[in-house]
Every structure is written in C-alpha cells, then in structure tokens.
C-alpha cells in the first residue's frame, strides 16, 4: 500500500539495528522463575529503560512491586519492576497502551538447544532468529520501540500517544501486576483508549491472525483423607478403605474418554452457537493435520476443522492433571497413600458463571464420593479461577488491526480465539474500561516455551509494520 511506503521502507532499512537491539536484550538471561537470575531480570529492565530514554520516551517510571510472596528461597526477593513510559502526550490524539513482558522461560543448552539459548543466532538459510525470548516476548515488546524509532527517523508524526506497560514476571504468574493496573487505571493509564497486547501466536505458520477470545480456567482439587499416615499395602491391603481407590472412582466420573464433561449442568451454561459465529470457523486456515503435528500423535478427538476449533475455543473442557500424595516415581513402591489430592481443571467459556460452576463441581464430587459408601473423608475445592475473555472482533481496534494486516500480508487475518488464558487481558479490560486487542507477531511453531524458540525474520518485520499501520488506522478511526 503506497500509504505506508515511507514507514515500511524505514522499518526495512533499520532491520540490522532492530536485530541488534533484540540480540542485546536476549543476551540477558532474564528468567523470572529462577531466583538466582533475578538480578538479570532487573538488568534487562535497565536495558529497556536505557533504550526508551534514547528514543525519547518520557515520564519513564520504574515501578517497584515489593517483595515476592512465598514460596521463595530468599524471603527478601524483590519482584522485577514494571516499566511505564509515554511516547507523546497530545490531547488531540488517541492513546494506546501496549503491554509486553521482558522476562523469559528457563533455557539451557543441555535441554537440547541447537545453539546457546541466550545468544541470538540469525539463521540466514531459514531466515529466522533463534534465542530464548525471541518470540516470547522480547521480540514483540521491542517491536513497539522499533516502530517509534522508524517514525522518528522517517520524520513521520507518531499517530497516537503510546503508553508502555512492560512487566518482568509474566512467566511466573505476573505477581503484583493486577494491583498496579488497578492503581494506575485512574492515574498513569487514565487517558488510555485501547490496549494492545502482542504476546500470543498465529494459529498456524502461514496466515496472520487477530485474537478476540480466551477461555478461562477453574482449577480444582478433590482431597481424600483416610489413615493418619501412609501404610504398607502388605499389612493393610484388603482391610483398609484406600483413599486412592476412592479418588480414582470420583475422578472417573468427571469426564469421559471422548472429552465429554459428565458434571451435571455444565453444558447447559454454555452460550449457544449462532449461525454467524458458526460461519467464522469455516474460513480459518486450519486442519486436523495441524493439531496432530502439534501433539505429535493421532489422538485428536475430532477430524473436522470446525469441531476442533470450537472445542478448543468456545466449548469448555475438563483435564485431569494428576494426583498429589500418591506414589509418582519410577519402579514399584507398595504404599497405601494416606491422603491424596486429585487435580483437575475446567476451561471456561461464555456464559459459564465461575461460582455456579464451582458449586456444580463440588456437589458432583461429594455425591460421587457419597455413592462409594467409604469411611474416608472427601473434600472438593477450587484452587484458583480466571475468567474467560471475549471481545468484539468488529470494534475500532480490531478493524484497524485487520486493515493493517491486509496491508502488510496481503490477506485478511483469521479471527481466532485461544484455548488458554492470558489473565492480564481481562484485568486491562475491566480496570481500564477499554477494549483489548491481541495482535500476535510470531507463528504457532515458534516454540515459545520449548527448546529452540525462534522468531521468523519475516514475522518480526511484518509484525512491526502491522503494529505501525495499526496505530495509524486506529488513530484515524471515528470511534474509540
């Protein structure tokens, strides 16, 4: 599109310096889940502040979040800071808040990486950049900085006021962030018109997507308590009611092998499928082969694309995760565990009410246990919940992002949802009372939390161009 020629060309021209900026960031092993590397997370925040300063961002605030709550080795461990900053503060312009995280997942060469994970390697043949954080989320985060730089150097007025909210604890539960967002909603974030998060991925590897929905997650445990301590199965087998037997029976009543949830009343809460929504799935570039490739198996419950996508995105699911308190090692141990806790979670979707769901789950477990006539004790409880999120994919922000995608990639994006949750999405929406757009940069096969995490150079470049064009289109749109 001639409209963005100048800025797109500048982005292309600055490619070497953008890769260089990313390489410098990747070199800092900012693993938030490793206490001993906490100084590195802080160091990476300092690197970002330095880059923001040199690009002319203003009102830079390094927000301390206090001490990390237990469990921690070091009781005085400080949480990494959240970096707030602005680029532009023109009341005539719209304000877009961009969120990203500078911490990363753990990585070690010995895990099977093809090269040192904390050294960005540019594979010229495959045209990709490999390194921990390349796609999750350092590459996309720096994308926003790069877009600012490109505008400056091209002499183009920045179309919106930009606010950054960069955290360093996302891979470890975003501790402290929710509170900060609530506090800054009427302060630093007050003028925000829209939030954009670039921290997820295309569904596949070829077609860009915009993401307008996420499932929630209610996590439960069923605790069965019997004897006072673990017993030997030789001495007590056959004469004691074994908690593990009761637990397996109760867990067996939750879901069937075809994925159908057997808890009464859950399906009834799911919003019915409309004709309009139904048509959304037909267009999406996806097949059962993609699912099989991702799982490395032929264990899909459905063969039709639409069924798979709907069961990933808009229907609830129940997964059995494991058992705490029982024998879990290799080999053979003849223990009768005294107290076992079965862990399972339900992915939630519109219009499931979390509290009502929990009541159904707890009642179901209690009834299933009661039917066993066991002298043991059973207790079912919610461990945590996070609500689902669904946005309007036809609002101003999504419309702008869709136009931008078309300009950059030449195709209309697929509108996708995700099966997992990004809890901060809902927090931004609720606290700031604005729409949130999920604008992924990387591909579905980037290996965000695996070995050999990568970001294709074409996605890096295309992603930044999409960010730039999105900001322009959103700035021009009549509504907020």
Q: Are 161 and 88 in contact (CB under 8 A)?
A: yes
CB of 173 to a second copy, least distance (A): 10
Q: Find which of a second copy, Zn ion, none residue 315 binds, CB within 5 to 8 Å per kind.
A: a second copy
CB of 129 to a second copy, least distance (A): 24
CB of 324 to a second copy, least distance (A): 6
CB of 441 to a second copy, least distance (A): 18
Q: Find which of Zn ion, a second copy, none residue 136 binds, CB within 5 to 8 Å per kind.
A: Zn ion
Q: In the complex with Zn ion, which residue's Cβ is closer, 167 or 199?
A: 199
Contact positions vs Zn ion (CB under 5 A): 136-137, 199
- The span from the CA of 263 to the CA of 364, in Å, is 6
458: nearest Cα among 410, 422, 409: 409
Q: Are 49 and 84 in contact (CB under 8 A)?
A: no
- The span from the CA of 421 to the CA of 413, in Å, is 21
Under the binding rule (CB under 8 A), the answer on residue 462 touching a second copy is no
Written as six digits, the tokens of 31 are 């693993």
* Footprint of a second copy on 313-342 (CB under 8 A): 315-324, 326-337
Among 75, 112, 155, 234, interactor with a second copy by CB under 8 A: 234
Q: Kindly list the catalytic residues.
A: 103, 170
Under the binding rule (CB under 8 A), the answer on residue 182 touching a second copy is no
Q: In the complex with a second copy, which residue's Cβ is closer, 76 or 299?
A: 299
Cα-based distances in Å from 29 to 19, 104, 115, 149, 169: 17, 8, 14, 25, 13
Q: In the complex with a second copy, which residue's Cβ is closer, 161 or 345?
A: 345
* Footprint of a second copy on 75-114 (CB under 8 A): none
Among 197, 251, 426, 471, interactor with a second copy by CB under 8 A: 251
CB of 348 to a second copy, least distance (A): 11
Q: Are 253 and 266 in contact (CB under 8 A)?
A: no
Under the binding rule (CB under 8 A), the answer on residue 370 touching a second copy is no
355: nearest Cα among 222, 218, 178: 218
Using the rule CB under 8 A, give the single segment among 79-87, 134-142, 160-168, 311-319 that binds a second copy. 311-319
Under the binding rule (CB under 8 A), the answer on residue 274 touching a second copy is no
CB of 220 to a second copy, least distance (A): 9
* Residue partners of 52: CB distance under 8 A and separation at least 6: 60, 83, 85, 145, 164
The conformation of residue 478, written as its DSSP 8-state character, comes to: S
Angle at 204 between CA 216 and CA 443, to 5 degrees: 85
CB of 51 to Zn ion, least distance (A): 19
Q: In the complex with a second copy, which residue's Cβ is closer, 91 or 375?
A: 375
- The span from the CA of 169 to the CA of 175, in Å, is 6
Q: In the complex with Zn ion, which residue's Cβ is closer, 193 or 199?
A: 199
Helix 288-295 crosses helix 305-313 at what angle (to 10 degrees)?
60
Under the binding rule (CB under 8 A), the answer on residue 233 touching a second copy is yes
* Footprint of a second copy on 119-178 (CB under 8 A): none
195: nearest Cα among 391, 51, 387: 391
* Residue partners of 71: CB distance under 8 A and separation at least 6: none
Under the binding rule (CB under 8 A), the answer on residue 263 touching a second copy is no
Under the binding rule (CB under 8 A), the answer on residue 72 touching a second copy is no
Q: In the complex with Zn ion, which residue's Cβ is closer, 184 or 199?
A: 199
Under the binding rule (CB under 8 A), the answer on residue 249 touching a second copy is yes
Q: Are 425 and 217 in contact (CB under 8 A)?
A: no
Q: In the complex with a second copy, which residue's Cβ is closer, 83 or 310?
A: 310
Q: List, edge to edge, every strand of the sheet that includes 121-123.
A: 121-123, 128-130, 454-456
* Residue partners of 216: CB distance under 8 A and separation at least 6: 347, 348, 349, 352, 354, 385, 386, 387, 388, 389, 421
Total residues belonging to the chain: 480
Q: Are 397 and 429 in contact (CB under 8 A)?
A: no
Q: In the complex with a second copy, which residue's Cβ is closer, 29 or 337?
A: 337
Q: Total binding residues for a second copy by CB under 8 A? A: 80
Q: Find which of Zn ion, a second copy, none residue 208 binds, CB within 5 to 8 Å per kind.
A: none
* Footprint of a second copy on 198-227 (CB under 8 A): 215, 217, 219, 226-227
CB of 156 to a second copy, least distance (A): 38
């Amino acid at each position: 599109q001639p409209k963005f020629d100048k800025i797109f060309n500048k982005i292309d021209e600055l490619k070497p310096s953008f890769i260089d900026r990313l390489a410098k960031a990747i070199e800092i092993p900012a693993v938030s889940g490793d206490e001993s590397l906490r100084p590195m997370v802080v160091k990476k925040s300092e690197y970002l502040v330095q880059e923001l300063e040199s690009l002319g961002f203003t009102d830079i605030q390094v927000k301390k979040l206090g001490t990390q709550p237990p469990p921690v080795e070091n009781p005085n461990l400080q949480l990494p800071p959240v970096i707030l900053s602005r680029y532009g503060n023109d009341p005539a312009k719209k304000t877009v808040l961009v969120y990203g995280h500078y911490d990363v997942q753990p990585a070690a060469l010995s895990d099977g990486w093809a090269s040192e994970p904390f050294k960005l390697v540019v594979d010229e043949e495959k045209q990709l950049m490999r390194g921990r954080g390349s796609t999750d989320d350092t590459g996309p985060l720096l994308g926003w900085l790069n877009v600012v730089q490109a505008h400056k150097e091209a002499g183009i007025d920045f179309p919106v006021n930009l606010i950054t909210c960069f955290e360093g604890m996302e891979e470890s539960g975003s501790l402290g962030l929710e509170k900060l967002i609530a506090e800054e909603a009427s302060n630093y974030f007050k003028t925000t018109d829209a939030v954009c998060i670039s921290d997820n991925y295309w569904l596949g590897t070829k077609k860009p997507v915009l993401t307008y929905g996420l499932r929630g997650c209610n996590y439960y445990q069923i605790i069965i308590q019997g004897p006072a301590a673990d017993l030997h199965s030789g001495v007590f087998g056959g004469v004691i009611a074994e908690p593990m037997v009761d637990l397996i029976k109760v867990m067996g009543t939750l879901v069937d092998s075809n994925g159908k949830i057997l808890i009464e009343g859950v399906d009834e809460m799911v919003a019915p499928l409309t004709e309009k929504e139904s048509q959304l799935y037909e267009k999406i570039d996806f097949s059962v082969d993609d699912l099989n490739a991702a799982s490395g198996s032929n264990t899909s419950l459905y063969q039709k694309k639409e069924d798979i996508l709907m069961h990933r995105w808009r229907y609830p699911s129940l997964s059995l995760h494991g058992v705490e308190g029982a024998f879990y090692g290799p080999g053979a141990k003849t223990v009768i565990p005294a107290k076992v806790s079965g862990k399972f979670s339900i992915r939630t979707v519109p219009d499931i009410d979390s509290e009502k769901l929990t009541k159904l789950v707890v009642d179901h477990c209690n009834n299933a246990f009661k039917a066993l006539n066991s002298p043991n004790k059973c207790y079912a409880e919610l461990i945590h919940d996070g609500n689902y999120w669904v946005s309007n994919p036809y609002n101003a922000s999504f419309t702008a992002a869709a136009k931008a995608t078309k300009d950059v990639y030449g195709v209309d994006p697929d509108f996708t949802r995700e099966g997992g949750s990004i809890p901060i999405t809902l927090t931004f929406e609720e606290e700031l009372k604005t729409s949130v757009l999920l604008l992924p940069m990387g591909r579905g096969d980037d290996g965000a939390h695996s070995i050999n995490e990568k970001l294709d150079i074409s996605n890096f470049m295309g992603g930044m161009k999409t960010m730039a064009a999105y900001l322009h289109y959103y700035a021009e749109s009549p509504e907020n």
